[in-house]
C-alpha cells in the first residue's frame, strides 16, 4: 500500500513539473530564456561562436564527436596522473591505462559503468574534475541531440538543426547546474557527505571496533549523477551507501531527479512541434512501460529468495532482503533500481545481482527495449522518436500510403536511418555477449554459477550497449577483455545511435510540410500510442527473448535447483 | 575541424574550472556552513551514525550480516539460486538459533552497502530475549527502548520503520 502511495506521490510531483520544466527547456533551447545571459555571452565570445548561427547536421555531428573525443582524452589524462594532482588525501595511485580508458569512455558516453571501487581508486580531484564534469557534459550532449532531432521535425526547408555549442552550454548553464546546486543541499541536509577532508578513523569503546571511514565531495556528485541520468557513484556501493543516499526521502528524491528531465522532454517536444498532444502520446507510452515494469519488480521482490528459503528461512514475510538496505526495504529499493535502469542511469540502492530471477529480468528487459521508458536524459527522447518513425512507416504499409510524421514525409532514407539507430544496440549487445561466452577471461569473471552466470554477462553488455551502467556486480569485470570490449559497446551504443539521429534530423529539417489530409494517420491518438507500444515490444522481444530464456527465465524455472 | 577542436578544448577548460572545481567547492562551503554534522559524516564519539559496525555476543543488538568494512563497500552480489548464498544463510540461521533467536530476513542477509547502519524494528525485537538474559534487564524495558529509538517511515509512507543499531546500543549501554 505504501508502495502505491509512493508511486502516486512521485507521479504527482512529476506531473506538476512536467509542464513547467518542459516549457522551460523549450524556451532555453529556442533562445527565449535569457536570465543567464551575463554568464553565457563571455563563453560564446571565448569560443568565437555566434549563438544565432545554425549548423548543418554534419557540422553539428562533427562538433559533437570532436568534443566527445577531447572529453575522452582529458578524462583519461586526469585519471592517469591523479597521483600528481592536488586533492588526493587518500594517496590514490595513477589509474591503470586500460581501466582509465574504460572509465573515460564510460563517463563521456553517459554510461557510468564502473570497473573500479571509487573509495579505493579515485582521488577527490578525479571524482570532481574528471568524472562529475563529464556527468554534466555528457548529459547536456544527450539533450542537445534530442533537441536537434526535434528541430529537424519542426524546421521547414531548413539546412540547419541548431548550434551544438550553444545547445551544450545552455543545457549545462540553464538546466543541469541550477537544479544540481539545489539538489546537493537536499542530499547533505538528509545526511550525505560533502567535505574535502580525507578519511576519518573512529573507535567505539563499546564493541572495541575501529573503522576507517572514507569521505569526500559526495553530495555534489550525487546530484548530477541522478539528474543527468549518469549513475556513477562516489562509492562502490553507489546509492546503497548511506553517505550517498542516506534516507528514504533522498531515495524518492533521487527517483524524481532521474525521471524529471526524460519525462519533461516530451512536453518540450510537444511545445516545439506545436502540439502538446504529440508529446502526450509519447509520454503515455513511456509511462505505460514504466508503471508495469515497476509494479512487476516490486511484486517479484516481495517474494522469497530461493537460496534463503533453501537455507531454512521459510517465512520471508518481508521479501528478498539480500543486497537491500534496512531503511529502504523491498518496495523503495525496487522502485529506485527500476527507475534507474529504465532511465539508462544505472545507479543502484540495492544489489541488482541478488534480485529474484524475475526482478532482475525486469531491469534487464527494460534496458533491452532500447531505453525509451523513459530512457536517459535526451537519449530516451531521440530513441523513442526513431521508434515513432518506424511505427508510422509500419502503419503506412498497412494502409498502403506514404507515411508522414508531423507533416514530414517518411521515405527510404529516413527509414534506413531510423532502422539503423534502432538496430545498432541489439546487434552490439548480442554479438558482444556471444563473443564473451567463448572467451575464457570473460567467463572466468562470473561470480554466480548456472544460468545466473550467463545473465551476468548478458546484463553487462545490455547495460553498456544502452549506456546504462547498471551491473550484476558479481562479475569481476576489471580485466583487459571487459575494459576494452566494454568500451567498444559503450561507444557504439552512444554514437551509433546519435549519428543516425542527427542525420535524420538533417534530412527531416530540409523537408517541407505536407498538409494533413483525411488519409493522414493521427500520431497524437491512443491508437498510435498502442501501435508504438507494440513496435517497441516486438522489436525488443524478437531480438532478446532467446537470450532471456537462457538467463533469467531458465533460472526462474529451475524449480528450486541451486547452482 | 581545427576550429571545432579548439572550441572543444576551450569548453573543456571552462568546464574543468567551473563545474569541476567551482561547483563542488561552493557546495562544500554551503554544506559545511549549513549542515556541518551531516557533511562531515555524522560522527559521534562512538563512530559514524551512517556507517554500521560489527556487534558480536549476546549483550548488544546485532545489525546485518555485513562485513562492515567502509573502505570496501558493496553487497555480496550472490544470486538468488546460489549455493554459496544458501550455505552462508544456513550458517547465519544456525548462529542465531544457538543464541536463542528466531531471525528475520535482515539478520541473515547482507545489505547492499555492506555497511547498513540499521535493522528493521522486528529484527531488533526478536533479539530482546537474548539481550534480556545476558544483561538481566527486563524484556519490557528493552521493548520500550526499541520503541523509543524507532525511526518511523518518513512522512508515514517512505521506506521502512527501522532502528539505528549504533544509536540503540549506545542507549542500551547507558541503561541503569
What would the pLDDT profile of B69-115 be if each residue is shown by its tens digit?
999 999 999 999 999 999 999 999 999 999 999 999 999 999 999 99
Residue A383 · residue A415 · CB < 8 Å: no
**B136 shares a domain with B50:** yes
pLDDT above 80 (res A336)? yes
> Chain A closest CA to B146's CA: distance in Å?
15
Helix (H) or strand (E) holding B48: strand B47-48
**B97 shares a domain with B10:** no
- Cβ neighbours of B130 (radius 10 Å): 20
Q: Among B40, B72, B79, whose Cβ lies nearest the Cβ of A452? A: B79
Hey, are the CB atoms on A355 and B80 less than 8 Å from each other? yes
Average model confidence (pLDDT) for chain A?
Answer: 96
pLDDT for res A183: 98
Chain-centre distance for alpha carbon A248: 22
Cα angle A241, A321, A337; round to 5: 55
Question: Average pLDDT of A554-560?
Answer: 90
**B82 shares a domain with B164:** yes
Hey, are the CB atoms on A6 and B28 less than 8 Å from each other? no
**B157 shares a domain with B102:** yes
d(Cα A259, Cα A236) in Å, to the nearest integer?
23
Q: Among A117, A329, A558, whose Cβ lies nearest the Cβ of B159? A: A329
pLDDT band at A315 (very low <50, low <70, confident <90, very high): confident
pLDDT for res A474: 96
Average model confidence (pLDDT) for chain B?
Answer: 97
Helix (H) or strand (E) holding A203: strand A200-204
**B80 shares a domain with B30:** no
User: Which residue from B91, B67, B160, B166 is spatially nearest to B121, judged by alpha carbons?
Assistant: B160
**B34 shares a domain with B110:** no
Q: What is the largest CA-CA distance in chain B?
A: 79
Hey, are the CB atoms on A474 and B162 less than 8 Å from each other? no
**B18 shares a domain with B57:** no
> Chain B closest CA to A521's CA: distance in Å?
41
**B98 shares a domain with B49:** yes
Q: What is the largest CA-CA distance in chain A?
A: 81
Hey, are the CB atoms on B160 and A327 less than 8 Å from each other? yes
**B19 shares a domain with B91:** no
**B60 shares a domain with B35:** no
Percent of chain A with pLDDT over 70: 100
pLDDT for res A519: 79
d(Cα A381, Cα A387) in Å, to the nearest integer?
10
Q: Among A67, A189, A209, whose Cβ lies nearest the Cβ of B11? A: A67
pLDDT above 80 (res A563)? yes
Residue B167: give the domain boundaries: 43-173
Q: Among A117, A169, A354, whose Cβ lies nearest the Cβ of B77? A: A354
CB contact set of A557 (below 8 Å; sequence gap of 6+): none
pLDDT for res A33: 96
Q: Residues of A numbered 308-367 whose beta carbons fall under 8 angstroms of chain B's beta carbons: which are they? A: 308, 310-313, 316-329, 332-333, 348-351, 353-357, 360
Q: Does A169 touch chain B (CB under 8 A)?
A: yes
pLDDT band at A518 (very low <50, low <70, confident <90, very high): confident
Question: Average pLDDT of B138-144?
Answer: 97
pLDDT for res B135: 96
What is the number of structural domains in chain B? Answer: 2
pLDDT above 80 (res A244)? yes
**B48 shares a domain with B32:** no
**B83 shares a domain with B112:** yes
* ipTM exceeding the 0.90 mark: yes
d(Cα A544, Cα A423) in Å, to the nearest integer?
12
Residues of B in contact with A351 (CB under 8 A): 74-77, 110, 112
User: Which residue from B104, B98, B162 is spatially nearest to B130, judged by alpha carbons?
Assistant: B98
Q: Among A5, A133, A237, whose Cβ lies nearest the Cβ of B73? A: A237
pLDDT band at A389 (very low <50, low <70, confident <90, very high): very high
Residue A168 · residue A148 · CB < 8 Å: no
End-to-end alpha-carbon separation of chain B, Å? 77
Question: Average pLDDT of A371-375?
Answer: 96
Q: Residues of A numbered 120-139 whose beta carbons fall under 8 angstroms of chain B's beta carbons: which are they? A: 120, 128-130, 132-133, 136-137
pLDDT band at A401 (very low <50, low <70, confident <90, very high): confident
Amino acid at each position: 500500500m505504501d508502495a502505491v502511495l509512493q508511486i502516486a506521490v512521485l507521479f504527482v510531483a512529476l506531473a506538476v513539473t512536467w509542464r513547467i520544466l518542459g516549457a522551460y527547456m523549450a524556451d532555453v533551447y529556442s533562445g527565449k530564456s535569457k536570465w543567464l545571459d551575463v554568464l553565457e555571452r563571455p563563453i560564446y565570445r571565448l569560443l568565437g561562436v555566434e549563438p544565432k548561427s545554425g549548423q548543418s547536421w554534419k557540422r553539428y555531428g562533427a562538433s559533437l564527436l570532436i568534443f566527445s573525443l577531447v572529453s575522452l582524452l582529458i578524462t583519461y589524462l586526469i585519471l592517469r596522473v591523479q597521483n600528481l594532482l592536488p586533492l588526493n588525501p587518500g594517496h590514490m595511485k595513477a589509474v591503470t591505462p586500460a581501466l582509465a580508458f574504460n572509465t573515460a569512455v564510460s563517463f563521456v558516453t553517459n554510461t557510468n559503468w564502473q570497473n573500479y571501487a571509487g573509495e579505493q581508486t579515485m582521488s577527490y580531484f578525479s571524482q570532481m574534475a574528471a568524472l562529475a564534469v563529464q556527468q554534466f557534459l555528457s548529459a547536456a550532449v544527450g539533450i542537445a541531440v534530442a533537441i536537434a532531432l526535434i528541430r529537424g521535425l519542426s524546421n521547414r526547408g531548413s539546412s540547419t538543426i541548431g548550434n551544438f555549442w550553444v545547445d551544450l552550454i545552455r543545457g549545462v548553464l540553464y538546466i543541469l547546474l541550477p537544479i544540481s546546486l539545489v539538489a546537493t543541499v537536499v542530499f547533505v541536509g538528509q545526511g550525505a557527505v560533502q567535505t574535502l577532508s580525507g578519511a576519518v578513523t573512529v573507535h567505539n569503546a563499546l564493541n572495541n571496533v575501529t573503522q576507517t571511514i572514507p569521505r569526500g565531495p559526495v553530495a555534489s556528485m550525487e546530484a548530477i549523477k541522478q539528474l543527468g541520468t549518469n549513475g556513477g557513484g562516489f562509492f562502490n556501493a553507489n546509492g546503497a551507501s548511506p553517505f550517498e543516499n542516506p534516507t528514504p526521502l533522498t531515495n524518492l528524491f533521487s527517483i524524481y531527479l532521474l525521471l524529471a528531465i526524460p519525462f519533461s522532454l516530451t512536453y518540450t517536444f510537444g511545445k516545439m512541434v506545436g502540439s502538446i498532444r504529440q508529446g502526450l502520446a509519447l509520454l503515455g507510452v513511456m509511462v505505460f512501460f514504466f508503471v508495469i515494469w515497476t509494479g512487476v519488480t516490486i511484486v517479484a521482490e516481495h517474494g522469497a529468495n530461493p537460496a534463503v528459503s533453501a537455507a531454512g528461512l521459510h517465512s520471508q514475510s518481508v521479501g528478498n532482503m539480500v543486497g537491500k538496505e534496512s531503511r529502504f526495504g523491498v518496495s523503495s529499493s525496487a522502485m529506485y533500481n527500476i527507475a534507474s535502469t529504465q532511465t539508462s542511469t544505472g545507479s543502484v540502492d540495492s544489489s541488482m545481482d541478488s534480485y529474484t530471477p524475475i526482478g532482475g529480468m525486469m531491469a534487464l528487459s527494460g534496458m533491452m527495449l532500447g531505453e525509451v521508458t523513459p530512457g536517459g536524459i535526451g537519449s530516451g527522447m531521440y530513441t523513442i522518436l526513431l521508434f515513432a518513425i518506424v511505427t508510422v512507416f509500419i502503419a503506412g504499409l498497412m494502409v498502403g500510403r506514404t507515411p508522414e510524421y508531423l507533416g514530414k514525409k517518411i521515405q527510404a532514407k529516413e527509414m534506413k536511418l531510423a532502422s539503423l539507430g534502432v538496430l545498432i544496440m541489439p546487434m552490439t549487445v548480442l554479438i558482444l555477449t556471444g563473443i564473451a561466452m567463448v572467451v575464457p577471461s570473460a567467463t572466468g569473471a562470473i561470480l554466480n554459477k548456472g544460468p545466473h552466470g550467463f545473465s551476468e554477462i548478458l546484463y553487462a553488455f545490455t547495460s553498456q550497449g544502452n549506456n546504462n551502467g547498471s551491473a550484476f556486480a558479481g562479475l569481476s569485470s576489471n580485466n583487459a577483455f571487459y575494459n576494452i570490449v566494454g568500451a567498444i559497446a559503450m561507444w557504439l551504443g552512444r554514437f551509433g545511435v546519435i549519428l543516425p539521429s542527427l542525420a535524420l534530423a538533417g534530412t527531416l529539417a530540409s523537408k517541407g510540410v505536407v498538409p494533413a489530409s483525411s488519409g493522414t494517420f493521427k500520431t497524437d491518438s491512443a491508437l498510435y500510442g498502442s501501435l508504438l507500444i507494440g513496435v517497441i515490444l516486438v522489436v525488443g522481444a524478437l531480438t532478446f527473448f532467446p537470450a532471456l530464456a537462457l538467463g533469467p527465465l531458465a533460472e526462474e524455472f529451475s524449480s528450486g535447483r541451486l547452482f | 575541424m581545427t576550429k571545432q577542436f579548439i572550441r572543444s578544448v576551450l569548453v573543456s577548460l571552462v568546464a574543468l574550472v567551473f563545474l569541476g572545481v567551482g561547483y563542488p567547492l561552493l557546495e562544500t562551503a554551503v554544506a559545511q556552513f549549513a549542515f556541518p554534522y551531516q557533511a562531515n559524516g555524522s560522527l559521534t564519539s562512538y563512530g559514524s551514525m551512517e556507517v554500521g559496525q560489527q556487534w558480536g555476543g549476546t549483550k548488544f543488538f546485532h545489525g546485518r550480516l555485513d562485513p562492515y568494512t567502509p573502505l570496501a563497500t558493496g553487497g555480496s552480489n550472490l544470486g538468488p539460486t546460489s549455493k554459496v548464498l544458501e550455505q552462508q544463510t544456513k550458517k547465519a540461521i544456525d548462529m542465531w538459533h544457538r543464541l536463542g533467536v528466531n531471525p528475520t530476513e535482515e539478520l541473515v542477509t547482507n545489505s547492499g552497502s555492506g555497511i547498513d547502519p540499521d535493522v528493521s524494528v522486528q529484527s531488533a525485537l526478536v533479539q530482546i530475549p537474548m539481550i534480556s538474559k545476558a544483561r538481566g534487564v527486563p524484556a519490557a524495558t528493552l521493548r520500550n527502548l526499541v520503541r523509543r529509538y524507532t525511526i518511523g517511515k518518513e512522512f508515514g509512507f517512505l521506506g521502512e520503520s527501522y532502528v539505528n543499531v549504533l544509536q540503540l546500543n549506545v542507549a542500551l549501554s547507558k541503561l541503569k
